[in-house]
Amino acid sequence: MATRWWESAVFYQIYPRSFADADGDGVGDLQGIIDRLEYLAWLGVDAIWLSPIFTSPMADFGYDVADYCDIDPVFGSLADFEALLDAAHRRGIRVTIDWVPNHTSDQHPWFIDARSSRNAAKRDWYVWRDATSEGNLPNNWEAAWNTGPAWTLDDSTGQYYLHLFLPEQPDLNWANPEVEAAMLDTLRFWLDRGVDGFRADVINLIGKGPELPNLAAAGSPIVDIDEPRVHEHLRAIRRTLDSYPQAPMMVGEIVLYDPGQVRAYYGNDDELQLGFNFRPTDTHWTAAGFRERIDEVHRELGTDHWPVWVLGNHDRRRQRSRFGNEARTRAAAVVLLASRGTPYLYAGEELGLPDAEVPPHRVVDPGGRDGCRAPIPWISTAGHGWGPEPWLPFVDDAAELSVETQRETSGSMLDFYRELLALRRASPALRRGSSRLLDSPEGVVAWRRYSEGQDLVVAVNFTESPVATGLVGNRLISSCQGTDPHFDGTLSADEATIVQTG
Ligand code: NOJ
């Protein structure tokens, strides 16, 4: 049986435009990633996920794909990708890539054909509708980010096409079997080259049926589309993955916020291997909030469905900005890496980057997400390892937060992440063990991680005062600096600690 390597791996999300710039044009690239594999190996992550690198006009920075089987020149070439895959594998790092199945770019040859005439060969590969008999839009759906209706009229053929995101991102019609077949071929293209898996963009949306009913009140249907037919597509995808020797995986971006709904996307271990649960990405720093996050995952996913933990990504506010101070952000690292499940760590979180302040004239994202996409500051001196003017501004305090400065500073956020990742890697209880919430005083969440031979307790103080927990043991790690290895039961303000009890 293939190993379920994705269950014990820590995934590191790279937003390629913002990660590392080897050619000095101000936009990150594949060679930049190759050059930083040493850093990732040193940090101690097991796998990377690259946000989109395929050919794209960049209306949504790669989430508008014009060719699923080539690399956009801004990032490099197919040969660069093969070099990256090879170099990562030599370091024992697996490589997963973003796959955007719900929509293409309006510049994709499929859409160019589809809009050429009502009788075009690929007309039905997209979702076309007439205006209603009163001349209104086909339904009341709105596109993402308050950008207006989800329908754009194609003047030359006189019909509307559906786009749940930008007009430059027309939705594919997965109800047409040719679309499924063509999209499975795009997976094979990368699997044949040896990739280890995929992150599937807004995967729940490919299940929409032909009815496209009005919403009770006009708005975006994105968080509502959860239809049975998606599971047939997911099973076809899984069969494709399972036919490859490298045991490839797929994690789904499921834009449903109830972990009970996310559970269905694992199927009977014949659909997705992993599904993102996004609630923790907008949970405030409170014990009640995080206790419920952990509890609902235990309750809804049980022991048969392996959870994913994520606290930030290229669409969300950075943890440092969300939680408000460094102590909490350090403690949150423990929540991410010591909860039962697969952690996804967004590049820059290990540095404790805040969101960048982006002045109006530098705003580039139609979805208002530029702040969390600021370039990674590699070195402390001006330019921070980037070309003259990176595509987005750096965060404030980029010099102090840079990789270079933090690698040299014992006790830095980066140092702490590295220590925590090493502890996790060496600990069967943290990687694979069971998890049970414990009774704990107000303001504290504590849970037990257990595997044969190792019994740990993770305890997090969400308050600004010390709290006595009644637990004692050997402290394996603390988010606060200078703590005593013997844990006497008292957590400092905003402290997270992992204690060996058995
Ligand atoms: C979700 C992605 O994470 C986001 O960045 C993108 O804009 C939308 N899907 C549309 O593809």
> H/E/C letters for each residue in 189-244?
HHHHCCCCEEEECCHHHHHCCCCCCCCCCCECCCCCCCCCHHHHHHHHHHHHHHCC
Q: What is the distance in A from the centroid of ligand 1 to the CA of 119?
A: 31
Query: What's the structural domain count of the chain?
Result: 3
Same domain? For 295 and 444 the reply is no
**Pairing of β 473-478 and β 496-500:** antiparallel
Confidence at 502, pLDDT banded by 50, 70, 90? low
d(CA 416, CA 410): 9
Same domain? For 158 and 243 the reply is no
Q: What is the distance in A from the centroid of ligand 1 to the CA of 282?
A: 17
Same domain? For 244 and 284 the reply is yes
Sheet holding 11-14, edge to edge: 274-275, 249-252, 197-200, 94-99, 47-50, 11-14, 342-346, 308-310
245 three-class SS: coil
Same domain? For 412 and 443 the reply is no
Residue 482 falls inside a structural domain: yes
Confidence at 3, pLDDT banded by 50, 70, 90? confident
Catalytic residue among 106, 171, 201, 271: 201
Same domain? For 353 and 457 the reply is no
What residues flank ligand 1, with Cβ below 6 Å? 60, 63, 100, 165, 201-202, 253, 314-315, 367
Tell me the HSE value of 108 on the side-chain side, using a 13 A CA sphere. 29
Residue 274 falls inside a structural domain: yes
Q: Which residue is associated with the tokens 């992150």?
A: 199
Which residue has the least CA distance to atom 4 on ligand 1?
Answer: 315
* Boundary of a domain, candidates 362, 393, 424: 424
Closest CA relative to residue 100, chosen from 56, 144, 141:
56
Q: Does position 1 have pLDDT exceeding 60, yes or no?
A: no
Same domain? For 259 and 335 the reply is yes
Same domain? For 289 and 149 the reply is no
Same domain? For 74 and 114 the reply is no
- Segment 168-186, tens digit of pLDDT: 999 999 999 999 999 999 9
Same domain? For 230 and 297 the reply is yes
Same domain? For 231 and 288 the reply is yes
Q: What is the distance in A from the centroid of ligand 1 to the CA of 368?
A: 12
Catalytic residue among 80, 106, 180, 253: 253
Which residue has the least CA distance to atom 6 on ligand 1?
Answer: 63
Q: What is the distance in A from the centroid of ligand 1 to the CA of 437?
A: 33
Same domain? For 483 and 362 the reply is no
Q: Is 357 a catalytic residue?
A: no
Confidence at 2, pLDDT banded by 50, 70, 90? very low
Mean pLDDT calculated for residue range 415-443: 97
Q: Which residue is associated with the tokens 């913002």?
A: 18
**Which residue out of 49, 63, 97 has the highest number of ligand 1 atoms within 8 Å of its CB and is therefore the one to mutate?**
63
The CATH number that applies at residue 402 is 3.20.20.80
- Segment 335-378, tens digit of pLDDT: 999 999 999 999 999 999 999 999 999 999 999 999 999 999 99
Residue 168 falls inside a structural domain: no
d(CA 143, CA 160): 14
Q: Is 124 a catalytic residue?
A: no
pLDDT given for residue 212 in this prediction: 95
Residue 301 falls inside a structural domain: yes
Q: What percentage of the chain carries pLDDT values higher than 90? A: 97
- Segment 306-344, tens digit of pLDDT: 999 999 999 999 999 999 999 999 999 999 999 999 999
Tokens of residue 404, six digits? 């270079």
d(CA 475, CA 286): 23
Q: Does position 501 have pLDDT exceeding 60, yes or no?
A: yes
* Boundary of a domain, candidates 394, 424, 454: 424
d(CA 413, CA 502): 29
Q: Which residue is associated with the tokens 């089987």?
A: 69
State residue 229 phi and psi, 5-degree precision: -65, -15
Same domain? For 113 and 259 the reply is no
- Segment 254-290, tens digit of pLDDT: 999 899 999 999 999 999 999 999 999 999 999 999 9
The CATH number that applies at residue 158 is 3.90.400.10
The answer to pTM > 0.85 is: yes
pLDDT given for residue 243 in this prediction: 98
Residue 458 falls inside a structural domain: yes
Residue 20 falls inside a structural domain: yes
Q: Does position 383 have pLDDT exceeding 80, yes or no?
A: yes
Residue 474 falls inside a structural domain: yes
Atom number in ligand 1 closest to CA 100: 11
The CATH number that applies at residue 451 is 2.60.40.1180
Helix H or strand E encompassing 279: none
Domain that holds residue 131: 109-162
Which residue has the least CA distance to atom 5 on ligand 1?
Answer: 315
What is the average pLDDT score of the chain?
A: 97
Residue 146 falls inside a structural domain: yes
Q: What is the distance in A from the centroid of ligand 1 to the CA of 371?
A: 15
Q: Does position 149 have pLDDT exceeding 70, yes or no?
A: yes
